[in-house]
Amino acid sequence: MSVWRLAAFLSVLSLPVSAAEVTVFAASSLKTALDEVAAAWRAETGNSAAISYAGSPALAKQIIAGAPAEVFVSASPEWMDSVAEAGLLRPDSRVDLLGNQLVLIAHGPAASPIPLDASTDLAARLDGGKLSMAMVDSVPAGQYGREALTSLGLWDSVKASVVQSENVRAALQFVALGEAPLGVVYLSDAIADQDAVSIVATFPETSHRPIIYPAALTTLASPEAAAFLDFLSSPAAQALFVAQGFTVLGAR
C-alpha cells in the first residue's frame, strides 16, 4: 500500500462514528423521568432519543396514521392494544414497564391534606372553582380519575365542575398556575412540580384499574431503538423512574 493510500485509510478510521437518534413517542406523564433516562442513555452510548410527548390516544392515532415512531410508551394498555391491532408493533417486544398512583393535588406547595372517601364533600372543597383533569373519555389519567371518583361516589357531585385537558401535564398546569384549585393527576406529575402544587390525597388503589405503562417497539424500530427499550428496564433507568414517583413492573 502506498504512503498516500495508507494515510487516506487511517484518516477514514479517525472519522467519528455518527451517533444514532431514536424516535420515541411517550405519554406526557413520563416527561420529567424519561428526559433524565434519555440523558443517561446518551451519556452511556452516545446515541440520542428524540421524544415526542402527548396524550396516549393522540400518540397512538399518530402511529396508526403513519408517524415514524420507533418506540411507543403508553399510559394505558388499551392504546398500546390499538397500535398492536393495527399490526404496527414488533412481535414479542411489548413489556409492562411502569406503574403509577393517582393523586388529588391543590394549588400551592403547602396545601392541607383532604380526607378522600365517600363522605368527602369535594364539591365544597372546590368552592366554585374547577377540578382539573385530563380528558375523561380518552386520556388514561382522565379515565382513571373518573373511575376513581365514581367508585368513591363523588363523580356526580363534581362532574359539572371538571375542566378537561388534552393530556395530564396540561391538567397539572391548570392547578400549578392557580386556574383550578384542585386537580387529579399521577403521582409522578405532582412530584415534577412540587413548588407549585401539593398532594392533598392519594386515591385508593381499589378505586380504579391498575395504572400500567406498556412499552414496545414499532415495526420501524432500528437496532438502536431496541437498545433504548432495553435500557428502560436497566437498573440505572429504574432508579430514575422510581425517584419520580413511578413503580417498576417488568424487565426485558
Domain segments of the chain: what residues?
A: 18-99+212-248, 102-207
Record the pTM. Answer: 0.86
pLDDT exceeds 60 at position 94: yes
User: Which contacts of 188-191 are long-range, i.e. CB under 8 A and separated by 24 or more positions?
Assistant: 188/29, 188/30, 188/32, 188/33, 188/100, 188/244, 188/245, 188/246, 189/29, 189/105, 190/103, 190/105, 190/245, 191/32, 191/244, 191/245
In the block, residue with C-alpha cell 386515591:
203
Q: Report CA-CA distances (Å) from 146 to 74, 102, 246.
A: 19, 11, 21
Quick one: CATH architecture of 102-207? 3-Layer(aba) Sandwich (3.40)
The CATH number assigned to the domain with range 18-99+212-248 reads 3.40.190.10
Query: Region 51-78: what's the mean pLDDT?
Result: 96
18-99+212-248 and 102-207 share one fold? yes
Kindly indicate the confidence band of residue 77, based on its pLDDT and cuts at 50, 70 and 90.
very high
Average pLDDT over residues 90-112: 95
DSSP 8-state class, residue 180: S
Q: What are phi and psi of 218, to 5 degrees?
A: -90, 175
